[in-house]
Amino acid sequence: MSDARAACLPRRYAIGEGKGASFILYPEQKLVVITLGNRVTINEFEQYARLLQQDPSFQPTFSEIADMRSIQEVDLQADEMMRMADEIDPFSKEAKRAFVVKTSSQAHAARMHKILLTHRNFEIFHSMEEAERWIHA
């Protein structure tokens, strides 16, 4: 397989020390889909951003779908949330961001992230199907 063809193939990455968090980078679709585990920390977000930025096929304008439905605990302090928004987040303001939630606490965490990022292309959904339709619209 040629290098150019290999660069277009989806790539899966594990994050968060085996706690169930992972993401798939789809270069041809210009999309990243992250599935978060039951506990979220600043270290996982730092690792996620670092792995994306190290992948030569990733562009900050790619869309993102964040599946938050497995999260039971968000272990982030206010200063860490600010740092995520101001320094760590690898996506541009133009990127479409879809967060998928099932509980009110997950929706609250997604809304806080949206407020801190001041993204115009940021929506919260209750199913992956809704999120995918919006991303691809």
**Which domain range does residue 61 map to?**
3-136
Domain count across the chain: 1
Domain of 78, CATH number, reads 3.30.750.24
List pLDDT tens digits, range 80-114: 988 988 899 999 989 999 999 999 989 988 888 88
CA distance 13 to 22: 6
pLDDT of residue 116: 81
What residues in the chain have per-residue pLDDT under 70?
A: 1-7, 17-19, 119
pLDDT of residue 17: 65
In this structure, the strands spanning 21-26 and 39-41 are: unpaired
CA distance 124 to 29: 20
